[in-house]
């Protein structure tokens, strides 16, 4: 029989859960299982706000979890994140932000290359996009902070970095 050691502390369990919120597919799972409709669960999310403050925040390895904690306070976001395509859109936005891709860098890279941005596409020419336009519009109505390529992801360090105090 293998020795397992002491069970994790409440602090460790809460840290693991909060950081799990950085994964949009996990938040999508919570929404699909109706956790985000449970008033007790929503109160628990409010309680977890203490992770935003010192000394707790210095243990957060995935700062996007704090963004998700904020977005989960909005009923429209809780409803939209139940859709897999919305979770994938958020995941793509996180990856683009970590890679340093912003609307400005896309525009700079496209200048002189003959590639047109979505706003420059001529009338009558179908725009090619990985995300449906209706999903983009819905997400932008969730919050002024929700946009996959711009301000969805605040300037946060990549996973694993520790905020300084």
Say what the pLDDT of residue 38 is: 97
CA gap 157, 96 in Å, rounded: 12
Contacts of 79 (CB under 8 A, 6+ apart): 31
CA gap 150, 107 in Å, rounded: 12
Say what the pLDDT of residue 4 is: 86
Domain 8-100+128-165 top-level CATH class: mainly alpha
Say what the pLDDT of residue 100 is: 78
Say what the pLDDT of residue 107 is: 66
Say what the pLDDT of residue 114 is: 53
Say what the pLDDT of residue 87 is: 94
Say what the pLDDT of residue 133 is: 53
Say what the pLDDT of residue 97 is: 81
Over the chain (165 residues), what is each successive 10-residue block's mean pLDDT?
Answer: 86 96 96 97 96 94 94 95 94 84 66 50 36 51 40 43 45
Q: Under the phi-then-psi rule, with left for phi > 0, alpha for psi from -120 to 50, and beta for the rest, what region is 96?
A: alpha
Per-residue pLDDT tens for 41-71? 999 999 999 999 999 999 999 999 999 999 9
Say what the pLDDT of residue 106 is: 64
Domain residue limits, the chain: 8-100+128-165
Buried b / exposed e across 15-40, counting CB within 10 Å, b at 16+? beebbebbbbebbbbbbeeebbeeee
Say what the pLDDT of residue 134 is: 53
Say what the pLDDT of residue 73 is: 95
Say what the pLDDT of residue 163 is: 46
């Amino acid at each position: 029989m293998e020795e397992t050691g002491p069970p994790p502390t409440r602090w460790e369990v809460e840290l693991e859960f909060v950081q799990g919120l950085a994964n949009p597919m996990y938040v999508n799972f919570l929404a699909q299982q109706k956790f985000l409709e449970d008033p007790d669960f929503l109160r628990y999310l409010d309680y977890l706000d203490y992770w935003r403050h010192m000394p707790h925040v210095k243990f957060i390895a995935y700062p996007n979890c704090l963004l998700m904690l904020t977005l989960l306070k909005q009923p429209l976001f809780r409803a939209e994140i139940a859709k897999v395509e919305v979770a994938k859109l958020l995941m793509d936005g996180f990856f683009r932000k970590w890679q340093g891709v912003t609307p400005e860098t896309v525009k700079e890279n496209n200048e002189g290359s003959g590639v047109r941005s979505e706003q420059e596409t001529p009338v009558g020419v179908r725009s090619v996009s990985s995300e449906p336009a209706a999903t983009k519009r819905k997400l932008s109505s969730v919050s002024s902070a929700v946009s996959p390529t711009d301000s969805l992801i605040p300037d946060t360090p990549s996973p694993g970095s520790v905020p300084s105090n």
